[in-house]
Amino acid sequence: MTFSTGAHGITTGYTPTEEDLRSLGSWFARYDERADAGEAEGMVDMGMFPMNLVSDDSAGNGVAAQWSREQYLRMLTHQVPEEGTDLTTESVRTPVFLSPQLAVVFTEATMTVNGETMKMHYADVLVKSDGDWAYQTMVQGGWGDAMKG
């Protein structure tokens, strides 16, 4: 995982400290370890619920939903590769801090599963509460049909 230093000139009035960047980077390192290991339960534990999900569907419509921990775990369990899957992920993340406790993180990721490579772009809203980050809103195209089912 790599952190990009800027989000294309976006200014929010808050400049993150080195500690802000370190703590968010550390959080993503833990999340990526769990994702690479296929630990859906551990990944879900890093979220703040109810969680907002925003996407679009195959009909070209925007879709938004608010899911419970149980709904999200059910969906994630079907998406996380099984143990023993050859998986590598490379991510470049660009955090935009709105305050010391709120960050929007834009991610460009390349995932290779059993030799098949795909590129993804998505954004997450992370919230810091009681000193720890949690993802609260996930935004990615192409998941709207699954969100309805």
Best CA proximity match to 111, nearest among 84, 88, 85: 88
Q: Tell me: the pLDDT tens digits for 50-90?
A: 999 999 999 999 999 999 999 999 988 876 655 556 677 88
What tokens does 50 get?
């109810």
Q: Per CATH, which fold does 15-148 belong to? A: Nuclear Transport Factor 2; Chain: A, (3.10.450)
Q: Domain boundaries in the chain?
A: 15-148
Query: What does the chain look like in DSSP terms, one character per residue?
Result: -EE-S-STT---S----HHHHHHHHHHHHHHHHHHHTT-HHHHHTTEEEEEEEEEE-TTS-EEEEEE-HHHHHHHHHHHSPPTT--EEEEEEEEEEEEETTEEEEEEEEEEEETTEEEEEEEEEEEEEETTEEEEEEEE-TT-HHHHH-
- Per DSSP bridges, beta strands 62-67 and 87-99 are unpaired
Sheet holding 116-129, edge to edge: 2-3, 87-99, 102-113, 116-129, 132-139, 47-56, 62-67
Residues 88, 112: Cα–Cα separation, whole Å = 5
Task: Say what the pLDDT of residue 26 is.
Answer: 97
Task: Say what the pLDDT of residue 11 is.
Answer: 73
How confident is the prediction for the chain on average, in pLDDT?
88
Task: Say what the pLDDT of residue 5 is.
Answer: 53
Instruction: Look at 14-28, 61-75, 108-122 and tell me which has the smallest mean pLDDT.
Output: 108-122
